[in-house]
DNA sequence: TGCTAATATTGAGAAAGTCAATGATTTGTC
DNA sequence: GACAAATCATTGACTTTCTCAATATTAGCA
């Protein structure tokens, strides 16, 4: 995927020529110190990159996440998946429908509760996931290129503690 | 604001009663180790919380961010603001229109380029921002309550390095 | 048994993101 | 200095995503 805006294109194409002053000017603003701002930016750019790399598999990160859960061996119900991924139940059915139509996952009966349906990956789903994981690993590699391995672990650990 | 989904309500209301098994079951999944997943979750929940706390000012985090930039003293043009906040130019005009109608910011002529317009906060805008910052500080406090001050700085620093 | 709550699903409507076209203006080149 | 190409803000169309309420089925409970 090409840079999303002309402005991005400018900045991406010539790091040596700060875009009419560059954005370093804003890095000291109060906003730029807020963790909320930093996480928003990180997720926005990480998402865009991952979507680009997943495009040749006809996947985006949202369906990829659902597939990953179905491949995890944890047998989540749709509602468990929904709360884990912060998705509305109606979004879950849309995503599951798509992946099921594609033959990547299956809805199975929950033996403990006939209202709920459990998600499992098919053979093809596991293969698709294997392909997709390579892409997302590459995306993470690029996203975190400025950090050492130890720092990456540290970041993971800190983020885990604030979201769980 | 009440919890956004019935599932959230369940989890939020009784941390002692893990929702039919709880989500700890999924915390060891591959997905939960991905920084992309963690940042998405962090930004999603942080955003929701901040929006809740800003609601009484009739603000959301997006317009708040624009206001913050206008109050920063850096006099950004609309396009600079757009690339800093990862917003499409058309989204910028909508946000700026709204805040200008509200009397919080003004578009001023750019002496160096008559095509571009510079954003500055009005008196009322600065007052609104002062109110809003209290809310977002509180949101950050709640979001990061599990981290020590040193760890919060560390998180900020690591995130800064991956997004700038 | 009957009452309340939870699950998946549908569908409507609002919000957010994407993209192309345009007028005014600037920049680069001859 | 003139001309072509690029940039900025803006508009409008369009798609995707989010949010909510309503519903049928099933569980759990008194």
Q: What pLDDT is attached to residue B23?
A: 80
List chain B residues with CB under 8 Å of A61: 36, 40
List chain A residues with CB under 8 Å of B31: 65, 68-69, 72
CATH tag for B34-163 (out of 1.10.10.10, 2.40.50.100, 1.10.260.40, 3.40.640.10): 1.10.10.10
Q: Is the CB of A77 under 7 A from strand C?
A: yes
Q: For the segment A55-105, what is each residue's pLDDT rounded down to a tens digit?
A: 999 999 999 999 999 999 999 999 999 999 999 999 999 999 999 999 999
Q: Say which nucleotide is closest to residue A76, CA to C1' distance.
A: C7
- Test B42 with A86 for CB contact under 8 angstroms: no
> Coil, strand or helix: which one is B123?
helix
For residue B3, is pLDDT > 50?
no
For residue A139, is pLDDT > 70?
yes
> Coil, strand or helix: which one is B119?
strand
How many beta-carbon pairs under 8 angstroms link A with B? 192
Q: What pLDDT is attached to residue A142?
A: 97
Tokens of A131: 């392909």
Average of per-residue pLDDT across A25-42: 97
Distances (CA, A) of A24 to A18, A29, B41, B164: 9, 10, 27, 9
* Contact in structure between A71 and A65 (CB atoms under 8 Å): no
For residue B63, is pLDDT > 80?
yes
* Contact in structure between B134 and B68 (CB atoms under 8 Å): no
For residue B27, is pLDDT > 60?
yes
Q: What pLDDT is attached to residue B151?
A: 98
Q: What pLDDT is attached to residue B161?
A: 97
For residue B7, is pLDDT > 80?
no
Q: What pLDDT is attached to residue A21?
A: 52
Distances (CA, A) of A33 to A15, A21, A30, A36, B153: 23, 20, 5, 9, 10
Q: What pLDDT is attached to residue A109?
A: 97
Beta bridge partners of residue A117, listed in sequence order: A109
Average of per-residue pLDDT across B116-140: 98
- Test B143 with A82 for CB contact under 8 angstroms: no
Q: Write down the domain spans for chain B.
A: 34-163
Can you tell me the distance from the alpha carbon of B16 to that of B8, in angstroms, rounded to the nearest whole number? 14
* Contact in structure between B110 and B116 (CB atoms under 8 Å): yes
Q: What pLDDT is attached to residue A10?
A: 34
Chain mean pLDDT for chain A = 89
What CATH number labels A30-163?
A: 1.10.10.10
- Test B163 with A41 for CB contact under 8 angstroms: yes
Average of per-residue pLDDT across A22-49: 95
For residue A125, is pLDDT > 50?
yes
Sequence-distant contacts of B150-154: CB under 8 A, at least 24 apart: B151/A158, B152/A35, B154/A154, B154/A158
Q: Pick B7 or A133 by higher pLDDT.
A: A133
Calculate the CA dihedral of residues B37, B40, B41, B42 and round it to 10 degrees.
120
* Cα B27–chain centre separation: 25
Average of per-residue pLDDT across B70-76: 97
Q: What pLDDT is attached to residue A92?
A: 98
Protein residues contacting strand D, judged by Cβ under 7 Å: A 6-7, 10, 19-20, 60, 62, 87-91, 112-115; B 4, 48, 77-79, 82, 89-90, 92-93, 96-97, 107, 113, 115-117
Burial of residue B93, with CB atoms counted within 10 A of its CB: 0-12 exposed, 13-18 middle, 19 or more buried: middle
For residue A1, is pLDDT > 80?
no
Cβ-based neighbour number of residue A28 at 10 Å? 11
For residue A150, is pLDDT > 80?
yes
């Amino acid at each position: 995927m090409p840079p999303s805006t002309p402005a991005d294109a400018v900045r991406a194409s010539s790091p040596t020529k700060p875009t009419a002053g560059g954005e370093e000017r804003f890095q000291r603003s109060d906003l730029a110190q807020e963790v909320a701002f930093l996480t928003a930016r990180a997720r926005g750019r990480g998402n865009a990159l991952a979507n680009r790399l997943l495009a040749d598999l006809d996947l985006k990160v949202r369906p990829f996440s659902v597939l990953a859960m179905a491949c995890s061996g944890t047998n989540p119900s749709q509602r468990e998946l929904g709360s884990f991924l912060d998705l509305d139940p109606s979004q879950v059915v849309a995503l599951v429908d798509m992946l099921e139509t594609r033959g990547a996952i299956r809805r199975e009966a929950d033996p403990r509760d006939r209202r709920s349906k459990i998600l499992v990956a098919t053979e093809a789903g596991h293969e698709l996931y294997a392909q997709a994981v390579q892409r997302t690993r590459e995306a993470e590699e690029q996203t975190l290129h400025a950090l050492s391995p130890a720092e990456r672990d540290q970041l993971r650990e800190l983020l885990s503690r604030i979201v769980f």
